[in-house]
Each structure stands twice: as C-alpha cells, then as structure tokens.
Structure 1
Amino acid sequence: MSDVTDTSTPERPAQLPAQSPPVDPAETAAAEQRAAGRLSWWRGESGEGARRNLWLIGVLVALIVIGIVTRPDLYGNSSWVWSNILVILKLASVVGVVSVGMTFVIIGGGIDLSVGAIVALAGVWATTVATQSYGAGGMIFCALTVGLGVGLVNGLLISYGRLVPFIATLAMLVAARGLAAELSDKQTQVSNNATINDIASTNLLGIPLLVYILAAVVIAGWVLLNRTTFGRRTVAVGGNPEAARLAGIDVKRHTLMLYALSGLCCGIAAIMLTAQATSAQAAMANLYELDAIAAVIIGGTLLSGGRGTIIGSLLGVIIFSTITNLFAINGLTTEAQNMVKGGIIVAAVLVQQVQFRSLTQFLGRNRLTTN
C-alpha cells in the first residue's frame, strides 16, 4: 500500500462571538442605589422645594402664554418683550427685597404686618430736610437705621415681651404710619438728592440698578438661609421652638434677630421706593405687607414655620408682578386683578397642603411596576 499525503487544509476552529466584559454586581448595585437616591430625593421633603419651584415656573410660562394669546401684537416685538421683562423685574424689586426679610420671619414661626409701615417711616425720615442735608450717605444710613431700629422693637416686644407676633406687628403698623404722618406733616416730601433719585433711573449693561439690588439681597438671603448656622437655627426655631431651646439655641435672641433682619430689608426697600417716586409720604408702600406675605406663601413657605425658600419667594413676587403687568397691557381693572391674586393665593395654599402627593404616588407605582 502506497502512502498518500493529505494536502487538504485543516479545518479552522469556529470563532466565538465577542463577549462583553463581565458586569460587576457591586457597580450595578451602586448605580441602582444612586438612581433610587435621586428618586427618593425628588419624592421626599428635600426635593419638595424643587418641585414647588418647578410648579411656579410653570405658572410663569402659563402667564406668558396668556400674554401672547391676548396681545400677539406686543409679544411679536422682541425689543418690547425685553423691555417688558425689565419693567416686570423693576416692579418686583421693592416688594422682592421686603419678601426676603418676610421669608426669614415666617420660616422662624412669626409674621410681620408692619413691613409696609416701616418702609413708609424709613422713607419719610430719610427725606426730611435735616436728613437730606447730610447727602446720599446720610439718607441711606438713616433709612437703614430706622428700619433696623423698628425691627428691633418688634423683636423685643415679641421675644422678650411675649406678645403675639400678629398683635405686636399690627400695633407697629398703626404706630409707624402715625409717626410717618407726624414727621411729614401729612405732606409729600420731595427727594432733592440726585444720587438717590438716579438709583431708579441708572442702568448697568442695560439692566436697571434696582434689579441688581434685588439680586444682591436675594443672593445674600439665600446664602444666609442655606449655608450658615443662622439659617439652620431659623428653620429649627420655626419648626419646634422648644426642641430648639433644648438643643442650646437662644430662641428669644434669634427671634429678635429675625425681626431686625426684616426691618433692615424694609430700610433698603425704602431707599429703592423713594428713588422710584423721587419722594416719600406716610401712605407709601400701602399693603406691601399683604403682597410680601402672599409672595412668600406662593413660594412655598409654611405659615406655621419651619420650611421655606428664598428662590420660591422671589418667584412668587415675579408671578404677582407679571399678573399686574398682564392686566395693565390688556387694560383690565385693578379690582379684577385683586380677585385673580386672591384666587392664586388660595390655590397656592391648597397645593401646599397636597404637597404633590398625587405625583409622588404615581412615581412610586411606576417604579414598582418597572421593577
């Protein structure tokens, strides 16, 4: 038998498909835990402020849509839209500064009905002939000192005098208005200081100086509330004063400081409002206390204290200013505007009570179904 040489090509082993690298169970568990943490943050109390702010932004968008539908001729002009935005922010600046101080007071478990009267008293005192003789610096110092002083009186009556905040600040409302009328002899006092008057007419990079002042106060208030011990103590005092006292917080002194802070904000607002009107009188800043309280409630601050956000209060002020602007460009009456504002306040309180429970339950059911 002859040998036969096999010249055929040997079979090549079949190539296995490329496999993905093995999945690390620990990494998968960590990713799931992060996702669950984000969901729990959104659904929990920590994300409640974000949910409410998102709802407020939705209200602003709805108001803008209403404006586009009712006045397409105006909203079709881009230059008018930009100038109108600046008008709204300028309109919100004074009440916005007052609302920052009001936010701290309400989070701390109090209420201040005298903020409008404090603004009037500080403005009148700053525009007296004697005060104006010291120049712009003297007027600003006077307004801030008067606001801070009246706020300290409120704080002393409430914290150490143990008066109910509603009664103490209501009495201060009447007293401050009366003192302002006495100082001004029931007359309008004209501001002759060009530096003060220019605050309302000066623009930096096309934006009014009043808007910058509002932004500075809001940023300072946000940092004070969210990044300092003072802010954490404010939340603790408003949430449970007795527990805060047992934890070592001087509740009386802290309450005094809260009302002093509110008065200081009123002093800043007095200068801004005086600059806008180039004058001051005892009747100025009328019902500002209601506007500030309504904006703070709209922003999600609990009237019972212990919870609230500066950004939410700012959005509440902007919403009310947008409503005022919307009614103005459509030629509607002030009475109708007040009725709409009242309805918004009621709706905000109802939303505050519901606390987006329906959305939370929906997200929870959706997650369980997915799992």
Structure 2
Amino acid sequence: MESQETIAKKPTILSDRYQTGWKEKVSEIFSRYGIFIIFLGMVTLMSFLTPYFFNVLNLINVVRQVSFIGIVAMGVTFVIITKGIDLSSGSVIALISVVAADFAHPGEHSLFVPLAIGVGVGALTGLINGTITAKGMIPPFIATLGMMTAARGLALLYSDGRPIGNLSDSFLFIGAGEILGIPFPIIVFLVVGIISHLLLSNTKFGKYTYAIGGNEQAARICGINVDRHLILVYTYAGLLTAIAGLMLTARISVGQPSMGVMYELDAIAAAVIGGTSLTGGIGTIPGTMIGALIIGVLNNGLDLLNVSSYWQQILKGAIIVTAVLIDSRKNKKS
C-alpha cells in the first residue's frame, strides 16, 4: 500500500506537470505565431489611441507605403538566412531610379525598356555583390558596403546630382496606378511575397539557402555548390530591390539620386523583426512581410499621434535591438 506521504504528493506532481505542459504550449504558440500576435496587438492599440488609424483609406495607405520596403526586405531575408547581409539596397534603388527614369520619358521608349534596364541594373549589382562575397572570399558586410558607396556615387554621376523628371503615364502607373481599387504596389508586394515564399519553402533553392545558413561546411560536403548559390541569392535580392526602386520612382514621379537613404536598414529591420536570425539558417517570408507591416503601422500610428520623428527613430531602434535579443536567447536555448 502507498504511504500517506506518497498519496499527498500525487496532486502536487500532477499539478506541476499540468503547469509545465501549459507553459510549453503557450511558449510554442508564441514561438510560432508571436509576430502575428504582436502585429494584431499593435493594430488594436493604434485603433484605440487614434480614431483615424482604423480607416480603410489609411490602412490601404499603410500597406502601400510598406510595399516598397517589404519587397526589398524579402530579398534581404534570403541573404540573411545564408548568414550574409546586404547594405547596398538603398543606394542601388537610387541608381536604378535615375537610370530607369532617363529611359521613361513620354514618346521615347516603350514601358518595357525602362523596366528591363532597371531590373538589369538591380540584378547586376546583386550579381557583383554575390561574386565578390563567394569568389572573392570577402565578408558580405564589406562587399555590400562597397557597393552601397559605389552605387550612390554612380547615381549622382549619371544624373549630375539632379532629379530626372518628365516620366510617361504608363511608367507612372506602376507606382501610382490601381487595379480594381487596389494600388498596384500592393498587388506587386503580395505577388512577390507569394513567389518568394514558395521559392524559399517549396524548392531546392530554398532548401539550399537554409542549409548554407545552418552550416556552410556541411552544405559543401553534401554536394551543394555554395558559391554559385550565394551568387544567385544576392542576384535575387538585387532583382527585388530593382522592382521596389522602379515602383518608388514611379510613385514620386521623378528619378532621384538621393532616393533610398536608410532603406537598407529598414529592410534589415523588417526581416529581423519578422523572425529572420542574423546567425543564419532561420527566417520566413510571411514573417518578413509582417515585420514590414509592423514598421508601417508604427510609423503611421505615431504620425497620427503627432509623435516626433526623432522619437520614432528611437522606438524603431529599440524594437530592432529587442528582436535581436529575443533571437539570441532562442539560439542559446536551442
């Protein structure tokens, strides 16, 4: 027969197991869907703080503004998953902007020409970043920092430091047009998101990207051509930067050599806030899209509340650091 002491302990043991199981379930749910919960919480909070936030036109405006950064952030997500970084996005946007705008004047060329040239320039800069990183064995921080400086210089040199205007209506449509009442940049944002998600989660390209970020040496042993794959990843990031740059140019109706300042940091922030690990091997496209939306909601909500832009920068920096700290704690536990 069981002793009185053993019988007395049983409820406590069962209670401890129940509490432990409940905590594990909550932890698992937050680990999987935490970013979505935070996003919904921010939307709810802003809706209470200002009556102008939860308005259809304002929400559409938030997503449209986020689209440009979000598309760049998706390319950056691929790069960060491989344990790399891309600091050149903002300057590449400026270069694409002035070059594409120069071929987008009314009556000179078809829409295809500035689009093709812009995409070509973006892909080429990504190809150069990837080649220098993979073949030159130069850290991606240094390689893309060099491209950041060079691309900004080329944009200023090409445009003589002046904006290039007088763009065709067909070109302006890609930044300011609508289809069935939905702004064209939002449609492109969603399409690029779906394609990037499928590419990362359902293809060999995505599996190789995760494998390289998880353990590059093991990936080489498994037969993955790491150098070629890194070049493709950076080229894809450059291509997405080109898409964002073209739409942003059309949105503001001018090719601007000073465009894209700080865009690279916002894109990295969106990816990190969305759960992409700076240590490599971890990240999702839906998470990055939500991360970009969180930045958009934060900026828009604080603007409506008349909060100083200086405070907005401080809050954004605090959120980025917090996201990295959470990621660091996760990595230590695993």
Q: Which TM-score band applies after superposition, normalised by the shorter structure?
A: 0.7 to 0.9
> Structure 1: how far apart are the matches of 2:236 and 2:178?
28
What is aligned with 2:280? 305
SS at match of 1:279: coil
Query: Aligned match of 1:105 in 79, 85, 107?
Result: 79
CA contact (8 A) 1:102 1:293 kept: yes
Q: 1:71 aligns with which of 32, 50, 70?
A: 50
* Match among 116, 120, 124 for residue 149 of structure 1: 124
Aligned partners of 1:131 and 1:139 also within 8 Å: no
**Considering only CA atoms, is the larger Rg found in Structure 1 or Structure 2?**
1
Q: How does 1:93-242 map onto structure 2 within 5 Å?
A: 93-129=67-103, 133-242=108-217
Aligned equivalents of 2:247, 2:110: Cα separation in 1: 16
Deviations 1:224-283 (Å, cap 9, x if unpaired)?
A: 000000000000011111100000001110011011001000110111101110111111
Secondary structure, in 3 states, of the residue corresponding to 2:55?
helix
Is the contact made by 2:103 and 2:109 (CA closer than 8 Å) also made in structure 1?
Answer: no
Provide closer, same or farther for how the CA distance between residues 171 and 195 of structure 1 changes in structure 2, counting only shifts above 3 A.
same
Residue-by-residue CA offset, 1:83-103 (whole Å, 9 max, x unaligned)? 111011001000011011000
Cα distance in structure 1, aligned partners of 2:221 and 2:166: 50
User: Structure 2: 5+ residue runs without aligned partners?
Assistant: 1-20
Deviation at 1:129, TM superposition (A): 4.9
Conserved? CA contact 2:121–2:242, under 8 Å: yes
The one-character-per-residue Cα deviations of 1:84-130 (angstroms, maximum 9, x if unpaired) are 11011001000011011000000011101001111111111111158
Q: Distance in 1 between matches of 2:74 and 2:328?
A: 23
Give per-residue Cα distances to partners, 1:43-99, cap 9 Å, x unaligned. Answer: 7xxx97x74452222222232233233223x35xxxx61111101100100001101
Matched letter for residue 55 of structure 1: G
Give the Cα separation in 2 of the matches to 1:191 and 1:119.
19
Whether the 8 Å contact between 1:52 and 1:299 is mirrored in structure 2 is no
Structure 1 distance, partners of 2:198, 2:133, is 26
Tell me the amino acid that sits aligned with residue 63 of structure 2. Answer: L
Distance 2:206 2:102 in 1: 36
Contact 2:249 2:256 survives alignment (8 Å): no
Amino acid at match of 1:90: R
Q: Relative to structure 1, is the Cα distance of residues 108 and 191 closer, same or farther in structure 2, using a 3 angstrom cutoff?
A: farther
Q: AA paired with 1:239?
A: G
Letter in 1 for 2:223: G
In 1, distance between residues paired with 2:47 and 2:102?
45
Please tell me whether the aligned partners of residues 135 and 227 of structure 2 are also in contact (alpha carbons under 8 angstroms).
yes
What's the % identity of the aligned pairs? Answer: 36
Tell me the distance in 1 between the aligned counterparts of 2:161 and 2:192: 31
Q: Please give the residue correspondences for 1:1-371 in structure 2 after superposition, counting only pairs within 5 Å.
A: 51-52=30-31, 54-72=33-51, 74=52, 81-129=55-103, 133-355=108-330
Alignment partners' CA distance in 1, 2:218 and 2:332:
28
TM value normalised by structure 1: 0.79
| Paired positions, count | 311
Quick one: distance in 2 between partners of 1:356 and 1:261? 27
- Alpha-carbon separation, structure 1, partners of 2:301 and 2:331: 28
Contact 2:164-2:256 within 8 A present in 1 as well? yes
- State the alpha-carbon separation in 2 of the partners of residues 128 and 208 from structure 1: 24
The whole-number CA distance in structure 2 between the counterparts of 1:160 and 1:111 is: 16
Secondary structure at the aligned position of 2:276 is classed as coil
Alignment gaps of 5+ in structure 1: 1-38, 361-371
Corresponding letter in the other structure for 1:81: N
TM-score normalised over the length of structure 2 = 0.88
Return the offset for 1:191.
Answer: 4.4
Cα distance in 2, alignment partners of residues 268 and 345 from structure 1: 25
